[in-house]
Chains A and B, each alone.
Chain A
Amino acid sequence: MFGAASTKRDAEESTSADPAPPAAPAAETAAPAPASEVARGAKTVEAKNVDLFYGDFHAVEEVSIKIQPNRVTALIGSSGCGKTTFLRALNRMHELTPGAYVKGEITLDGEDMYGSKVDPVKVRRLVGMVFQAPNPFPTMSIYENVAAGLSLNSRRMKKSDKDAVVERSLRGAHLWEEVKDRLDKPGTGLSGGQQQRLCIARTIAVEPEVLLMDEPCSALDPVATLAVEDLIAELKHRFTIVIVTHNMQQAARASDTTAFFNLERSGDPGRLVEVGPTEEIFTKPKQKATEDYVSGRFG
């Protein structure tokens, strides 16, 4: 199911002299393989006893969770319970905050992404992120925005190959039809929902294995929200998706697995209370705290 391309990648990783996983394979400098998205495998992400700190402040405590490939996992919970902090640890963005650090192990298909020889930049190329407020680069056109991941990673590409990648990514983000005639216009000239889909196109253009989405629809109107959710349902066939959301109905609609984070008291570290198939979490949750949260009994 995950095909030859995946095993080829594994072979390259094991034979490369640098044990640092996951190394960007040499094949990336060549033209991108067409229609490779079916064959590519999305990766499993697993966290084992992960603690997250901001300096002295213990933000998230002892989280262990296995995120299944080609599924949508939703992280829900009240404000400040650490779900965004945890999400950002999954692509090594947490440590960008001065003083922030991670304890524990987070693996991508079994390889620890926080290993001592691992380059965080390479991790971030494999684990992409879409943010809460759409943030297209203002100095770039729509075309350049989508291609930004490629040009910023200095992948030399022929123009025709780049065109193909841009079109494929925009189609993948359900945006191609709307912008194909104005690819050279600035990215900031689109509506909110379109901008967010542009950011999604930009993220999938570099073909990560995992997509992290931090409340991707919270800045969008309901129609745009549903459009993005439909997109997510389609993208999960190509990627592993983790989405943080405040909107419980969205978690219920859009995800296969739901993980509920919670705080005992404010100031305490956030903890993972329960994780399970979405249908179960919303029909017969096991923990009382989960039940109280999803039925809106406490905020």
Chain B
Amino acid sequence: MAGVRIEYQEELETLEASTLGGLDLASAALARTMEAVEHQDVELAEMVVADDDRIDGRYLEVHQSLIALLATQSPVATDLRLISALLHILKNIERMGDQCVNICKVIPMSGHEPPADPEMLKLILAMGGQTRTLIAQAKRSFEDRNVEMARDLVRQDDVVDNLNRECFQLALEIGDDADRREWAMTMLLAGRAIERIGDNAVDIGEQVAFIVTGLFREFEDASRPS
């Protein structure tokens, strides 16, 4: 029935758009974070930290509206799964924002000299780029409700995981220089944070599968590698 409960339908669509908009915010934050890492830009890093308030604000606002929608519209079936998924995804987005903040907070510690290891830096930046691709794909798969695309996120995330392991190896072999070691440790922290962002993107993919199939499953787990 076309004309029925229009306001409710429109509200739901608006909230979905807001949520995905939050994903854009997170992706932009990651881009700026990578830039700050590359150029040791402390000011940019501080801006990212301050901007995280926007992501948190988005989270709280959309969350409240979703709860109100649950209370007043008694959604069922796909609408209910959608709202549940959006609540999860909001959390994922907020976590992504927090991880960017974590990275930005360690940048001033990286010392004043330029980065000692261009290889490691390249890996980190590659991880960042790949993770941004992950986020974009997660967003696409949600908009299109495309489960195949969502499953593919696992494969994409594996790339990030592998890059992280390579980073770890490089860090082990970085040598005795105190400054270089310090820099390598902070890069490892950054890498770990990026890897977490990637996992959050995969979680979003799982929510896509939940909406479409109604089954709440993890794509792949540490205990059950695919």
Tell me the A residues contacting B by CB distance below 8 Å. Answer: 223, 226-227, 229-230, 233, 249, 252-253, 278-279, 282-283
Give A283 to B5 CA distance when docked, in angstroms. Answer: 21
B72 within 8 A of A: yes
Give A227 to B1 CA distance when docked, in angstroms. Answer: 10
Known A223-B1, A226-B5; 10 more pairs at CB < 8 Å: A223-B4, A227-B4, A230-B5, A233-B7, A252-B72, A252-B73, A253-B5, A253-B8, A279-B68, A279-B71
B50 within 8 A of A: no
Structural contact, A278 and B72, CB atoms closer than 8 A: yes
B6 within 8 A of A: yes
Give A230 to B9 CA distance when docked, in angstroms. Answer: 12
Task: Flag B39-75 by CB within 8 Å of A: 1 or 0 each.
Answer: 0000000000000000000000000000110011110
Give A223 to B67 CA distance when docked, in angstroms. Answer: 25
B225 within 8 A of A: no
Cβ–Cβ < 8 Å partners of B1 in chain A = 223, 226
Structural contact, B6 and A282, CB atoms closer than 8 A: no
B3 within 8 A of A: yes
Cβ–Cβ < 8 Å partners of B72 in chain A = 252-253, 278-279, 282
Report the minimal beta-carbon distance from A70 to chain B, rounded to whole angstroms: 15
Most chain-A CB neighbours within 10 Å: which of B1, B5, B71, B73?
B71
Contact of A253 among B6, B67, B73 (CB under 8 A): B73
Cβ–Cβ < 8 Å partners of B5 in chain A = 226, 229-230, 253
Q: CB within 8 Å of A: which of B2-23?
A: 3-8
Cβ–Cβ < 8 Å partners of B68 in chain A = 279, 283
Cβ–Cβ < 8 Å partners of B73 in chain A = 252-253
Given A226-B4, A226-B5; A249-B74 close (CB under 8 Å)? yes
Report the minimal beta-carbon distance from A51 to chain B, rounded to whole angstroms: 32
Cβ–Cβ < 8 Å partners of B3 in chain A = 230
Cβ–Cβ < 8 Å partners of A252 in chain B = 71-74
Give A223 to B8 CA distance when docked, in angstroms. Answer: 16
Complex A-B: 27 CB contacts under 8 Å: A223-B1, A223-B4, A226-B1, A226-B4, A226-B5, A227-B4, A229-B5, A230-B3, A230-B4, A230-B5, A230-B6, A233-B7, A249-B74, A252-B71, A252-B72, A252-B74, A253-B5, A253-B8, A253-B72, A253-B73, A253-B74, A278-B72, A279-B68, A282-B71, A282-B72, A283-B67, A283-B68
Report the minimal beta-carbon distance from B61 to chain A, rounded to whole angstroms: 14
Cβ–Cβ < 8 Å partners of A229 in chain B = 5
Cβ–Cβ < 8 Å partners of B4 in chain A = 223, 226-227, 230
Residue of B with least CB distance to A255: B72
Residue of A with least CB distance to B73: A253
Give A283 to B4 CA distance when docked, in angstroms. Answer: 24
Residue of B with least CB distance to A230: B4
Give A179 to B176 CA distance when docked, in angstroms. Answer: 89
Report the minimal beta-carbon distance from A255 to chain B, rounded to whole angstroms: 9
Residue of A with least CB distance to B67: A283
Give A253 to B9 CA distance when docked, in angstroms. Answer: 12
Cβ–Cβ < 8 Å partners of A249 in chain B = 74
Give A299 to B74 CA distance when docked, in angstroms. Answer: 19
Give A230 to B71 CA distance when docked, in angstroms. Answer: 18
Give A278 to B71 CA distance when docked, in angstroms. Answer: 9
